[in-house]
Amino acid sequence: MAQNHVTFLAMRDYAMNCSFSVAWLMAGACCINATFAAAPGDRIDNFRLLDQNGASHELRYLSDAKAVVLMVQGNGCPIVRQALPAFRELRDSYRSQGVEFLLVNSNLQDNRDAIAAEAKEFGIDIPILADDTQLVGEALGFERTAEVFVIDPKTWQLTYRGALDDRLDYEKQKPAPTRRYLADALDAMLAGQSVPLARTQTAGCLVNFPERTRGAAHAAISYSETIAPLLQKNCVACHRTGGVAPWAMTSYDMVRGFAPMIREVLRTKRMPPWHADSHYGHFVGDRSLSTAEVQTLVHWIEAGSPRGARPDPLLSQSAARTEWTLGTPDLVVEVPAFDVPATGVVNYQYPTLPNPVGHDAWVRAVEILPGDRSVVHHVLAGLDDPESKEARVGQLAAFGGYAPGKNAFFYPDDTGVLLRKDARLLFQMHYTPNGKSARDVTRVGYYFADTPPKHPLHLTFLFKGGLAIPPHAKAHTETVEFVYDRPVVVYTLMPHAHLRGKASRFTAIYPDGRQEILLNVPKYDFSWQTTYVLEEPKVFPAGTKVIFDMTWDNSAQNPANPDPDKTVRWGDQTWEEMNAGWIRFRYLDEGPDAAKTAEAR
């Protein structure tokens, strides 16, 4: 990352020495003002937004709906407030027929908290999606609040846009509508007929989209000075030759070719891969883009991905990168080789090795490099220490783990995990056969502290066995609660589920009753096993309760679901489920000597 940053600065210096005029002229010559305004018949692109409660909503997820109705909402607008009761009534009567109703707020002046407050004050029990980048409203051509958009999930075409009915107008309203445009449109769609009146005019408050008229400026966004550095800073670490991403950003031509796909992954918040809701807490290594960065990239793409005339920064990437993201380890251990068969199910393997350093050592990080990523599902690096009072599950992941997309990190300052002289290294290896036999030799790098840290680190493992996730459940939630009976400092949070994992949340309830959402993962993704390291560790007084919620999607709408007809129970394999929450912490009052007597659940 540091390396990237340097490249970025160097590029800027270079670019500033160049003249401005060529790119400017070229941009001016080709600028086409791409103003989007969806009309009935247009296909609506996918998007994913979070609502006022931090829940995720993706348009394409609603493919099993008969129709999707969006209404433009804005705080403080009297017309939309007056339209809401009728909208809710329609929701109530059409919901059972498979019609989805959502509100979308693209207002510049409304943020999540303000939207939640408006929802509370007006009793709005319909999700209000926060279009924080305005990209969805821009593309759909929102003009006024209270306008409704009806989408047919069979084709993703817009079938109706306009007023809900003819009751409302500025400062006057009829006692009852004489024309019910939205209901008529829905009735027609449910009857398999075309919508009788596909477009009407809406009264409502104008929504300000300052970027909408800036097409010329978007066409002048500099690839060399703005776009390429943005990609280098946020994407190239993975999207490089030999990186974990499937394609490398090695030139303008590559980026241009993938431009529509980049637009899609940004609109659906799939890339960069980062799954914590930025509304709650700050985490180390947050990969998400700022609102302005997303807008810049998408506007550049919508302007036709102009190249400009400057040199292409992506052509000169620093190729050499160490395979260890944390730097060269102090010790590299090879996990005993394992032959993975071509097919079948392999039980977890638990190889152990004697402590290779031959004396007590304090570990401050581990990084795990699987030998064959195509068959290594996950690895836990732990301890087998008969003298430790730590529970076995705590010992098993004492040092950390690997799963695809997992980040390696140094333990917090002044903390470490003790590897005693007579303890053994213990590994949990989960192999998944992939059609051809393979031999895996996984390497584990250990990073040691020169001096004993001030505090031993512990792990709380939150789980509830006895899972039974009903077939076809779109959202099944289980909650685990845990109370710390001594004051602790909490450093990291990690939710874990398998392929049906949908969302997760950690909440703290302090002894004074104050409630704080520590981490919200609105769209859990099994492919990205992230340990969320709190930027500011949290001190929990004794008596603080942690609530860990995990939600699964066992419906056919979950594309990763191996079998929506099954009742899913707890199990190690990915077609079974887990609700596992890990918290790394230290006791506030515990020094290094207490390490051997520590207790954790």
Instruction: Give the binding site for ligand HEC (CB under 6 A).
Output: 234-235, 237-239, 244-246, 258, 261-262, 265, 271-273, 287, 289, 527
**CA atoms lying within 13 Å on the CB side of residue 474:** 6
For ligand HEC, which is the closer residue by CB, 263 or 458?
263
For ligand HEC, which is the closer residue by CB, 111 or 529?
529
For ligand HEC, which is the closer residue by CB, 30 or 261?
261
Query: For residues 499 and 399, what is the distance between their CA atoms, to the nearest angstrom?
Result: 25
Least distance (Å) between residue 160 CB and ligand HEC: 31
Length of the chain: 601
Phi, psi torsion values for 143, nearest 5 degrees = -120, -50
The helix/strand/coil state of 369 is strand
Two structure tokens written together for 245:
């991403």
Phi, psi torsion values for 408, nearest 5 degrees = -90, 145
Least distance (Å) between residue 300 CB and ligand HEC: 11
For ligand HEC, which is the closer residue by CB, 272 or 281?
272
Task: Extract the runs of DSSP E, i.e. beta strands, from 356-405.
Answer: 361-369, 376-384, 400-402
Least distance (Å) between residue 296 CB and ligand HEC: 11
The helix/strand/coil state of 170 is coil
Tell me whether the omega of the peptide bond preceding residue 272 falls within 30 degrees of 0, making it cis: yes
Least distance (Å) between residue 139 CB and ligand HEC: 18
For ligand HEC, which is the closer residue by CB, 28 or 285?
285
Least distance (Å) between residue 247 CB and ligand HEC: 7
The position carrying tokens 């596909």 is 198
DSSP state of 223: I
For ligand HEC, which is the closer residue by CB, 84 or 237?
237
For ligand HEC, which is the closer residue by CB, 5 or 120?
5
Query: For residues 72 and 79, what is the distance between their CA atoms, to the nearest angstrom?
Result: 11
Least distance (Å) between residue 22 CB and ligand HEC: 26
Least distance (Å) between residue 331 CB and ligand HEC: 26
b/e burial code for range 80-111 (CB count within 10 A of at least 16 → b)? bbebbebbeebbeebeeeebbbbbbbbbeebe
- Whether residue 530 contacts residue 488, with contact meaning beta carbons closer than 8 Å, is answered with no
Least distance (Å) between residue 197 CB and ligand HEC: 38
- Whether residue 246 contacts residue 240, with contact meaning beta carbons closer than 8 Å, is answered with no
Query: For residues 517 and 280, what is the distance between their CA atoms, to the nearest angstrom?
Result: 6
For ligand HEC, which is the closer residue by CB, 61 or 463?
61
